[in-house]
A and B are shown apart, each in its own frame.
Chain A
Amino acid sequence: MHAPTTTFAARVAVAIHDQRLQAALDRASGGFVAKRAALVDALPEFEALRERARTVKEHVLSNLDGYLLRYEAEVVRQGGHVHWAATDAEARQIILDICKAAGAKTVTKGKSMVSEEIGLNDALEAAGYQVVETDLGEYIIQLAKEPPSHIIVPAVHKTRAQVADLFEEHHRPLGYTRHLTEVSEMVNEARQVLRGHYFKADVGITGGNFLVAETGSSVIVTNEGNGDLTQTLARVHIVTTGIERVVPTLDDVTTFLRLLARSATGQETETYTTFSTGPRRVNAEQSGEHSGEHSSEHGSEHSDVDGPQEYHVVLVDNGRSKMLGGAFREMLRCIRCGACLNHCPVYTSIGGHAYGWVYPGPMGSVLTPLINGIDNAYDLPNACTLNGRCQTVCPVKIPLPGLLRELRRQQFETGLTPWPIRTALQAWAWVAQRPALYHALMRIGIPLLSLVGRKQGVLHALPLAGGWTDTRDLPAPQGGTFQQAWKAQNGARS
């Protein structure tokens, strides 16, 4: 559970006036939108891939228990461990227990939205572990002590000068004293600093874009290769992922991989796609009955010579199994590509921090109320024009506007809608159901309004309509209503 301490309105006001943020959002989203569009144009099978992806996900959701059990059996067969966390607190405890049993000191992390959802880093740090994010964007915001502002490019709101300052402050104790100006220098320095951490990490935690039931594999995609260094060099590899990420076969995951990079970053594929199955193999000729505990420094002729000795998958539920049975089941198809954010005019106007939690944009506006409680996030489903662009680009065809409207319906039913809005709506609806009364009122009201606004053609202020008239004029009505004029011309006709 997470309740923000600031209001949505306050966060929006800050974001709208932040020129640097606005420029960064324009650049990032504009780039992703254009690149994605070009790739979609170049791939005639794109629509068929979306439909197949939707079908596979729905099939998995209807058989989620069976697929998770199959996945678990395969992981165990290959020498890995599967842990089931019903809540975020249980997930944190499982991971703390694994780190403790491993005698860990340093934990490196590849990008995992789920780990942020469960508040993992704070828990690890509170327990005394050194935690290092290795995805460059996540590393930057970790240094800045900020939440991500985009699920794919979490530091999109940072300028290079801001990054240079962060690096200077935090890398100085490690012996890096230059103040950098070029992006290439900063990436280079981060590379060196993070290598230091990779090689001394005891535990490496990554997310899992997909889980493959056929083989018991977790799949990550990165451009940087940080996820691979994180999981390969540490003694213990922990995968944190949502229960909804399982897909049936390697061929099925291929469908999703074809959609993911195109939708997320406007690339055909990301640089590295990695399928991880179990810990380093010991005496690989035998079946995976042994865990990594018996491996020696050199290994036998058939043992792996690198890779983690332990492989753990933490399956996080945190409300997903409950969503499965209700009106929001379709949200579980989400593959966290970020296309909806990039195409959302509200997200590109306010950025990720305004959403108050780890998931921004349309998908965040659905997930945050569902995971954190509808009463904790009144504004998110409402700060949307229902323009529908998100739905047209979602690779798994989630009906996001419909889900947002359903959240609004639940807010209304549970009395969360502010009373002035409720009252105004119900007054309008009451009159609208009584055409004779409606027309009578409008016959008086409309000519009045048009009289007031006739000279200038607009009304500059209107009681109760400050939200409009603070920044806009209201075009004046044309004199009378259409129905009035029509009736005058044609006589009453029903």
Chain B
Amino acid sequence: MNPAAPSGRDRVLAQIRQSLRRAAQDEQAVAPLAGAGPRPAFSGDVVERFVDKMREKAASVERLASLADVGAAVARYVAAVPAGPALRVSRALAGIDWPSTLTVQRGAAVREDETSVTPCFAAVAESGGIVTLSGADTPSTLNFVPDTHIVVVHASQVVAHFEDLWAQWRATGQPMPRTVNIISGPSRTADIEQTIQLGAHGPRRLHILLVAS
């Protein structure tokens, strides 16, 4: 590359500065914007709101007393779909008693996977949504490839607003993962004659197992 010719980066930045009628400003110099955006206020229990919002958005929610009930609940749900007994389960989901009727595989999802089971990082009550952070034990393909996605949510994981979610993530001190997914229901489209159809590309079903704390 000709060192004398300004790069695209140089030209774009130069034009920005010319438009703003000032000299260069590096990223440290930006004074942050004061204040914060308004949060949609709501009353009542955050967990109840989370459940209502998920159901509103065509996810199903089953409430369980403890983690010990998860295995059986998954088996029942899968039989009712009906789907096969093979599950793709997040390595990060530990301490589950899986019934022998089910087969559990780990790792990234493959095209043939019918059902995945994952934990989540948090759940947001404001407008519904479970939040997953991708990682070695939480591959994000589990959220999108299978037909059915089952998520284990602990009631204590439910926060009120998205700002609470971000505060929680910042508090972990971890770097940003490759993806943060906020998922509020099964995949849908209305692209053909404005008719809503579930299961466009992502999972056809989103099933929440809400474990009491």
Contact = CB atoms under 8 A, between A and B. Distances in A.
Interface string A365-409: 000000000000000000000000000000000000000000000
A321 B16 contact: yes
A322 B19 contact: yes
Contacts, number: 273
A45 interface: yes
Interface stretch (A278-286, A346-354, A456-464, A480-488): A278-286
Contact of B200 (A45, A156, A226, A287): A226
Given A271-B57, A304-B178, A224 B25 contact: no
Given A224-B201, A232-B141, A268-B127, A48 B38 contact: yes
Interface of B: 7-9, 11-13, 15-21, 24-27, 29-30, 32-33, 35-41, 53, 57, 107-109, 111, 127-129, 134-136, 139-141, 143-145, 161-163, 166, 169, 175-195, 197, 199-203
A27 interface: yes
A243 interface: yes
A463 to B, nearest CB: 46
B182 A272 contact: yes
Interface string A197-217: 001000000000000010111
A224 B179 contact: no
A163 B197 CA distance: 15
Contacts of A216: 176
Given A78-B175, A248-B33, A271-B187, A299 B136 contact: yes
A166 B206 CA distance: 30
A269 interface: yes
Contact of A274 (B53, B179, B193): B179
B176 A84 contact: no
Contacts of A315: 12
Contacts of B30: 63, 66-67, 70
Nearest to B166: A250
A12 interface: no
Contacts of B185: 271
A155 interface: yes
Interface residues of A, number: 109
A301 interface: yes
A269 B25 CA distance: 36
Contacts of B177: 277, 281
B165 to A, nearest CB: 9
Q: Interface centre among B53, B194, B197, B201, by most A CB within 10 Å?
A: B201
A271 B187 CA distance: 7
A217 to B, nearest CB: 6
Interface string A404-439: 000000000000000000000000000000000000
A301 B12 contact: no
Interface string A12-27: 0000000000001001
Nearest to B33: A59
A491 interface: no
Nearest to A230: B201
A257 interface: yes
A320 B183 CA distance: 32
Given A228-B143, A284-B135, A302-B136, A66 B188 contact: no
Contacts of A64: 16, 20
Nearest to B142: A306
A232 B140 contact: yes
